[in-house]
Structure 1
């Protein structure tokens, strides 16, 4: 296979972890006889500093022409002013919108070798395997907003259409068919009108198109509690933009470290005219450890596995990367964030351990 992959290192530790992921992609290409054409582009704070735009036109053009996109991280103290007219996060929101990336996938599956690192009891966490599917381009983050009464009153609309709910629920249901056959839809239908629409559309889509998938509706506040006491009970979880943002961050702590968790942002399938997917670790830019060699590259390396499977349709290659990460961690390879006071390895050494196993 010949594939074009756009690299967006971004800010903070982004360039370091993307560099290690590139080594993994090159190793996969060598082992499986592929050609990956890699090109690097600006996004976030680095792009603001260079050209004054968090998503420069050249970056967007390259991403649209790519088969998949790998992103490091954006943001940092230098650009933290929430009142600034131009902010790094705007680049992320724009690229999702421009590429039609309406679904964010976050797998939550603690590694057996690190289950003790979770802040929850081992018997609660062990065996957890949840795939969150978060709607990414609608809802309150994209609703009409503003100020009234001389700035003393603020508002932000939450808006969802039937079509938006249908497409995210169909994707989540298809994913559930390939896993445990169970779908949990999270809403706030007892209070919010958009959630009432969400629930009714979800019920209809599952009944009409996915009778083999078991559907459960859970209110968002209840789900926040369930994640801490019975996370093993969930298979695929689908929810809106705001609720998904909060719940996935909560669930990200089940494995014990943000440095282990990848994510994918996907749009329509290529067969339906969709564009490339975007793959990024869920942790931030961690500017406090940038350049120190302490960053954990494993989440970004696991992003390459998602990129290979969900972006390029290469499941065997993805499994090879995931297996290498699991073997490395199982053999005791630990970066500082998961070392629990024991000896730790550097960013590059952690990647070396994975490369040895591919």
Structure 2
């Protein structure tokens, strides 16, 4: 099978992990008789440096023309003083919107070998951490109107959080469909005691609920959910929520798994073309040292094979190899533990390649 992958190498330490993910993809292509053709696209800080724009139109078109996109991470201190419309993060928002990627799917899974690295009590971790946050990605407050003005002699800032029924329905359906493929349990997270948008979310989700009678459905306020993720994460299977709540909760969920260097994510829309990226940042403090953990990016590539390319055996091979490397005791610095062997970015990928 021939597939074109747009690669966004990203900023700071990010190119190091993307290069390792490409090595893994090349090994998969060789073993399973596929051809992966790579197209380089620029977004974020590197695009600002090259073009003065965090996502030029031509770079967006490269991504839309590809079969899928693999991204490292963007941003860093170098670009923090830029105006809002020229910051690296603006490029990411425009990329998601331009590709029509409205569903961000982020798994929160504890690898058994890393259980001791979780900040939660062992008694909580032993109950299991295996859920997924389905976050609406191109609506809500991040894409609403933003304005700052002067009123009565002082500045006032306003950010709006708009949602239309069709935006809620399409992400809600993704949530229910995801639950059907897992343990058939769905939690809708909102702030319906305060926000009109949340009350609209509930109304739409109630309509969808009738189409999925097999799914155990419940609702939870976002502040309670934030506490429950730390107190009893085993209760969750699929969480579906709006953009800002999902941004915060998925970051919290990734932290309880032991290392954000192990957490991949996918962003999907109507078609099979998606955006796959690790959930961590660009790690400017360790850039160029070959010590950053590439596994989240490698697992993101595995998600791309599974969800965009319909290559489940190939995705399984990558995940099994990662599991075997952890079993063998190899660790990067972020997940190092007593009795394990500390290795760098390239070296741990070498070990993964040996096991594919």
Structure 1 segment 190-269 matched on structure 2, within 5 A: 190-207=193-210, 209-269=211-271
Q: Distance in 2 between matches of 1:190 and 1:125?
A: 31
After TM superposition, give the deviation of residue 258 of structure 1 in Å: 0.8
Give the CA deviation at 1:123. Answer: 2.3
Aligned to 2:60: 60
The offset of 1:60, in angstroms, is 1.0
Range that drifts further, 148-157 or 318-327: 148-157
1:123-146 deviation line (CA, Å, top 9, x unaligned): 212321111100000011111121
Cα distance between partner residues in 2 of 1:181 and 1:237? 11
- CA deviations over 1:319-346 (Å, ceiling 9, x no partner): 1111111111121110000004764101
CA-based RMSD of the aligned residues comes to 1.2
Could you list the per-position Cα deviations for residues 175-215 of structure 1 after superposition, in whole angstroms to 9, with x for gaps in the alignment?
A: 110100111100000111100000111111111x2111111
CA distance in 1, matches of 2:337, 2:119: 12
TM-score (structure 2 length as normaliser): 0.96
What residue number does 1:170 align with? 173
**CA positional deviation for 1:254:** 1.1
Q: Secondary structure at the match of 1:252?
A: helix
- 1:311 aligned to 2:308? yes
Alignment of 1:329 with 2:326, yes or no, is yes
1:141 corresponds to: 142
Alignment partner, residue 347 of structure 1: 345
**Correspondence list, 1:15-54, <5 A:** 15-54=15-54
TM-score normalised by the chain length of structure 1: 0.96
Which of 188, 192, 207 is residue 189 of structure 1 equivalent to? 192
The 1:304–1:85 alpha-carbon spacing in structure 2 relative to 1, beyond 3 Å, is closer
Structure 1 unaligned regions, length at least 5: 271-275
Q: Identify the range of structure 1 (338-347 vs 68-77) with the bigger mean alpha-carbon deviation.
A: 338-347
Where 2:106 maps in the other structure, the secondary structure is strand
Q: Any idea what the Cα deviations from partners look like across 1:7-52, whole Å, max 9, x if unmatched? A: 0001011110000000000011111111111122211111101111
Quick one: distance in 2 between partners of 1:155 and 1:266? 29
Bigger drift between 299-308 and 149-158 goes to 149-158
Kindly indicate whether the alpha-carbon contact (under 8 Å) linking 2:133 and 2:240 is maintained by their aligned counterparts in 1. yes
Separation in structure 1 between the aligned mates of residue 34 and residue 75 of structure 2, nearest angstrom: 33
- 1:73 partner SS: coil
Deviates more, 1:315-324 or 1:82-91: 82-91
The residue matched to 2:186 in structure 1 has which SS?
A: strand
CA distance in 1, matches of 2:201, 2:315: 33
Tell me, what secondary structure is at the counterpart of 1:149? strand
Alpha-carbon distance, 1:85 to partner: 4.4
Q: 1:322 to 1:343 in 2, by over 3 A?
A: closer
Q: CA deviation at 1:255?
A: 1.2
Q: Indicate the residue corresponding to 2:74 in structure 1.
A: 74
Is the 2:84–2:90 Cα contact (8 Å) retained in structure 1? no
2:293 is the alignment partner of 1:296:
yes
What is the CA-CA distance between 1:58 and the residue it aligns to? 2.6
5+ residue gaps, structure 2: none
Instruction: Describe how 1:91-102 pairs up with structure 2 within 5 A.
Output: 91-102=91-102
CA distance in 2, matches of 1:64, 1:164: 21
